[in-house]
Structure 1
């Protein structure tokens, strides 16, 4: 009996060990099969721009934004922003100057150490930072957001649709664009019925430059419909250098003036520069039609859903 009990015990132990071995083998096989399955990948969006194609994670949570037009559009879309160049921030975007957002330097001098520490999912830059593209690209996927001054509304629409796609906010983007285009069309109809001719000036430290159709601020003519006091202003990014005698000679009915110094944090001086004895002889001055535009919106920003709407409101003052 004792011998039989001993044999029974040995057999039970062997069966138990075999069962454990089979269970471990099954677990090992299951784990191996799990490891062999492809990991679930995050949804991505591929964007084309001047430097090629960039693939970004859809709805990125940590964005560094060096273009204030993009920033104001992201604000409309309700998208997350992590880092902003806070040296000079337009007044209408002042909430992004708060400490809850990382300061990543200035528009012309990015703080790459701060950007790297932030570990962003995506970086948006404009022409101001284009020459530093490779340095940004080493940190995170970087998108150069471009503005075509010869097709201002077209490039705005393209950029807003791109951002809507990246953040899965296509419906919000489409509605905002439709509202903006309707407003621009309404403004153009008003200006089209007027014979008033306009001149666009950038004032900077006592000097003035003029902008015509197709230029940086030429959408006042091209999109908003104001006629030009001079059809031959050269198309340029920085404007055509002019004299005050030129302004009197062209005698515009309306003048739009952007104060660059004030926009970048200096003292406002455009009015003192522009309203001299020669300019006071123009129709624009005599009729109270010199409109001083917000430099934060026009010089620092532009090309966004909010900024373009604000631009239209300022331009409409001339009517």
Structure 2
């Protein structure tokens, strides 16, 4: 009788071990989630511990959500992200070119690319799960908010993400209420002594598409680099507001400042210049991290302040 009972117990134990080994992969897979992104779908571990980020917009959102990262690009940083320039964070290449040896050394659980680093998605995917948070210009606000929710889901920060989204939308609502009667605007980028203009639907079209300003020239090319323009063109468009990005200052390159370049007799004839309605954007945020949830709010708030002055 004891022998029979012992045999039954042994059989039950063996069955239990077999069941546990069968369920182990299912339990492990339950700790991952499929993330759809700009370059496909990736199985990502929930709450990954070691994170490498190449996209500064994603870094801005992660910082707003209170998520720590291990590796970042060696690149100019907006003032709000300046802490990531310190030696506390491993430098894993540039915004465009990864240092694969440095990435491998970190053994990351997750790599995030986007925008400038999108082209390296396939290469980095061979090292660790990688997601591409590139945002399309034709659905920019949706992309900003979707990325915040995606990162909130991955890191268990859903409440924080929704709070950041609500804050951004409140700022945009306030801004749109003020631009309804603010007149026309023209977005300019200066670099190397030259000027380009951007219209609706372009890389810097938020001024029209999100903020609600009437475009001074709705026919502008929506190409990534804008349309080269002259000072005569600016005078002829005669915008009520000028929204200016100094690219050289944004990336730490020496050159003639936008304020000096535009200070001439032709631009001085515009309503914007006459009425001191020239907004010099926070270049670090606009040029390097505009797809971040916190960056978008800060840029909108800057315009709100200018309109109220």
Is TM more than 0.5 here?
yes
Task: Name which of 287, 311, 317 aligns with 2:299.
Answer: 311
Please state if 1:244 is matched with 2:231: yes
In the alignment, what sits opposite 1:198? 185
Larger Rg: 1
Q: TM-score, normalised by structure 1?
A: 0.87
Match of 2:208 in 1: 221
What SS does the aligned partner of 1:215 have? coil
What is the CA–CA distance in structure 1 between the aligned matches of 2:223 and 2:95, rounded to whole Å?
A: 21
Q: For residue 122 of structure 2, what is the aligned residue in structure 1?
A: 134
Q: What SS does the corresponding residue of 1:38 show, helix, strand or coil?
A: helix
Using the TM superposition, give the Cα deviation of residue 109 of structure 1 relative to its aligned residue in structure 2, in angstroms: 2.3
1:45 corresponds to which of 33, 36, 47: 33
Residue number in structure 1 paired with 2:65: 77
Displacement, 1:74?
Answer: 0.8
CA distance in 2 between partners of 1:86 and 1:73 (Å): 18
1:166-185 matches, within 5 Å, as 166-185=154-173
Q: Is the 8 A contact 1:60 1:80 kept in 2?
A: no
**Aligned pair 1:146/2:134, yes or no?**
yes
Aligned to 2:76: 88
Q: Is the Cα contact below 8 Å between 2:188 and 2:196 reproduced in 1?
A: yes
Query: How far off its partner does 1:140 sit?
Result: 0.9
Q: How far apart are residue 96 of structure 1 and its match?
A: 1.3
Q: CA RMSD in A?
A: 2.4
CA distance in 2, matches of 1:108, 1:216: 18
**1:28 shift after superposition:** 9.2
Segments of structure 1 that go 5 or more residues without pairing to the other structure are 1-17
Report SS of the residue matched to 2:33: strand
Alignment check: 8 A CA contact 1:184 1:312 kept = yes
Contact 1:254 1:318 in 2 (8 A): no
The structure 2 residue matched to 1:258, chosen from 219, 242, 245, is 245
Q: Which runs of 5+ in 2 are unaligned?
A: none
Note the C-alpha offset of 1:26. 8.5
Which residue pairs with 2:88 in the alignment?
Answer: 100
State the Cα distance separating 1:112 from its structure 2 match.
1.5
TM-score in terms of structure 2 length:
0.90
Cα distance in structure 1, aligned partners of 2:74 and 2:266: 39
Could you tell me how far 1:29 is from its partner in structure 2? 4.7
Runs of 4+ off more than 6 Å? 25-28
Where 2:306 maps in the other structure, the secondary structure is: coil
The alpha carbon displacement at 1:50 in A equals 3.0
Cα separation, 1, equivalents of 2:153 and 2:63 = 15
Measured in 1, the distance between the counterparts of 2:304 and 2:204 equals 15
**Offset of 1:62 from its aligned partner?**
1.0
Give the length in aligned residue pairs.
300
SS at match of 2:265: coil
Instruction: Give the aligned partner of residue 56 of structure 2.
Output: 68
